[in-house]
Amino acid sequence: MSPYADVAHLMKGRTIARIVYDAETIAGRVRELGAEIGAAYPEGDLLVLGLLKGSFIFLSDLVRQIPRPLQVDFLVATSYGNETVSSGLVRLVYDPETVLEGKHILLVEDIIDSGRTLNRLVDLLGVRRPKSLEICALLHKRLTPDLRLDAKFVGFDAPHEFLVGYGLDHAEDFRQLPFVASLAD
């Protein structure tokens, strides 16, 4: 029996090529990241800022593993509009209501690939004068040398495949899978 046979009904006729990171591996790495983040921020106000939608599952597991007081907020950014290719122009659809000035800001992302959105967000958040700004990503494809701010905390280096599960989607599907997998063509 395949390790993902119990989720076959969730796949909408698509096939998983392989499970890249299983649920147990992800949970273990999230625990480690929580400890690393807690140690990196021994004092001061910490705001964990999730980039929706992809980060929501990772962020919810992560904040429960950070052994210190913190606040959580979200932002939504888009660079696609109604197109299938990024315009390169990033627009905040939902802007965090929390004051950023003077706080340690940890921007949580599901996956870093081209870096366009992340670069623009670093600029937008930086002008709000946080005490510090760092990035935590579940997955990093290491595709671009042009990141203005590389992730300080990374769960896993990601293969150059289209990945779904644990918050990552394909046309809004597959976010609820308990693992990260690549889709078969």
Instruction: Report the 3 state secondary structure along the chain.
Output: CCCCHHHHHHCCCCCEEEEEECHHHHHHHHHHHHHHHHHHCCCCCEEEEEEECCCHHHHHHHHCCCCCCCEEEEEEEECCCCCCCCCCCCEEEECCCCCCCCCEEEEEEEEECCCHHHHHHHHHHHCCCCCEEEEEEEEECCCCCCCCCCCCEEEEECCCCCEEECCECECCECCCCCCEEEECC
73 catalytic per annotation: no
Q: Catalytic residue among 113, 146, 169, 173, which? A: 113
Catalytic residues: 113
